[in-house]
Amino acid sequence: MARIFIDGEHGTTGLQIAERLAGRSDIELLSLPLERRRSVEHRRELLNAADVVILCLPDDAAIESVSMIENANTAVIDASTAHRINPDWVYGFAELAPGQRDKIRASKRIANVGCYATASIALLRPIIESGLLPADAAINLIGVSGYSGGGKALIEVQESGQGDPFAFYALGLSHKHLPEIQMWSGLQTKPVFLPSVGHFPTGMLVALPLHASQLNGSAQQIADCYASWYANERFVHAKPLNTQDVLVRGGFLPAQTLSNTNVLEVLPYASASGEELVLIARLDNLGKGASGSAIQNLNILLGCDEAASLE
Ligand SMILES: NC(=O)C1=CN([C@@H]2O[C@H](COP(=O)(O)OP(=O)(O)OC[C@H]3O[C@@H](n4cnc5c(N)ncnc54)[C@H](OP(=O)(O)O)[C@@H]3O)[C@@H](O)[C@H]2O)C=CC1
Ligand SMILES: CC(=O)N[C@@H](CCC(=O)OP(=O)(O)O)C(=O)O
């Protein structure tokens, strides 16, 4: 039985992982009571007793936890941003490219992909690697997230009625996910990324608007590229060009539809002339964007069914 310790188990991401793993016969969850969650002494003990540690902490605390691990057999899945472009860590996005699962399985240091980054890279990497979008393209990404993406602090603001129904943020245009988006999608130019948050707990949309003149191919070729790239994936569903059945009330694409799932949808749309496109990824920021992908990475590490606790 694998011993798993979730450091940060009482936070938003950690709690959801703990709930999903509870009751698994192949896993023993090592746990600290709420009042000991910040105790260095108790965390150190469990960090070294576990076969796999899942870090659901702010970046600085995640770095501290890694520094406390002396057991060479302890594997780490870090849900924070701290190690996502670190060459000593494997990027924990199973669907990134062929062979990524093998890299995850062979590693003891896995950096779980960020929520907006999951969506952005899922859109960008296939079309850059297949030459449909030049790697030096100057692109824009627009995102909207449920408020759980801001952790306990933002949840408290929104649920106490002091938050906004909808707001843009990160107007300094240097959101923390940009380095990993650029590195793992293969973009040579830093994108302009405009995230926003709405008054709903979970759900996420990321849109990549494009002019056909930026592409080496048609909208149909883009859709075909996604269909073949993700053909064998259980959790990434590439939809046909201009899919209408995901739209509600005559044309709205809701952000929340995939909440509580580990599914990511890739949805390409184009105007009638084919001159303008918008490529959209939809997921649960806390699911495939955080706790779901952490569990998927854990399942890959343990060599069990990749969908265990996720369906
Ligand atoms: N929420 C999301 O959608 C996503 C989150 N992530 C990442 O996951 C990580 C956790 O985020 P999230 O769950 O949202 O955050 P929360 O703020 O909800 O939870 C963080 C938890 O970590 C605890 N903690 C904070 N500092 C320390 C410390 N020094 N030692 C021990 N425990 C500590 C907190 O305790 P206390 O209550 O005392 O503050 C809290 O229980 C972050 O790095 C975040 O970027 C990744 C993808 C998406
Ligand atoms: C709504 C909101 O505030 N979202 C967070 C992203 C969620 C998160 O913490 O993501 P990672 O840990 O994957 O980096 C933000 O934009 O910073």
Judged by DSSP in three states, 308 sits in: coil
Active site residues: 115
Of the pLDDT bands very low, low, confident and very high (cuts 50, 70, 90), residue 23 is confident
Mean pLDDT score, 74-92:
98
Q: How does DSSP classify residue 278? A: E
Structurally, at CATH architecture level, domain 115-285 sits in: 2-Layer Sandwich (3.30)
CA of 233 to the centre of ligand 1 (A): 29
Q: Which amino acid is at 266?
A: V
Question: What is the Å distance from ligand 1's center to 61 Cα?
Answer: 9
Specify the CATH number of the domain 2-113+289-302.
3.40.50.720
List ligand 2's pocket residues with C-beta within 6 A.
80-81, 114-115, 145, 149-150, 154, 176-177, 195, 197
Give 48-63 pLDDT, tens digit per residue: 999 999 999 999 999 9
Which of the four pLDDT bands, split at 50, 70 and 90, describes residue 140? very high
Helix residue ranges per DSSP H, 50-150 = 59-68, 100-105, 115-129
pTM over 0.90: yes
- The residue nearest atom 40 of ligand 1, judged by CA position, is 11
Sheet holding 264-270, edge to edge: 166-168, 192-198, 140-146, 204-211, 276-283, 264-270, 236-238
Specify whether the CB–CB gap between 118 and 283 falls below 8 A. yes
Residue 268 C-alpha from the chain's centroid = 19
The predicted structure's pLDDT at residue 121: 98
List phi, psi (to 5°) of 143. -130, 150
If you take atom 12 of ligand 1, which residue's CA is the nearest one?
151
Average pLDDT, the chain: 98
So where are the chain's domains? 2-113+289-302, 115-285
- pLDDT of the residue at 234: 98
Inter-residue long-range contacts of 153-157, CB under 8 Å, 24+ positions, other chains counted: 154/197, 155/12, 155/201
Q: What is the 3-state secondary structure (H, E, C) of 125-194?
A: HHHHHCCCCCCCCCCEEEEEEEHHHHHHHHHHHHHCCCCCCEEECCCCCCCCCHHHHHHHHCCCCCCEEE
pLDDT in tens, 178-231: 999 999 999 999 999 999 999 999 999 999 999 999 999 999 999 999 999 999
Neighbouring C-alpha atoms within 13 Å toward the C-beta of 306: 17
Amino acid at 108: K
Ligand number nearest to the C-alpha of 39 = 1
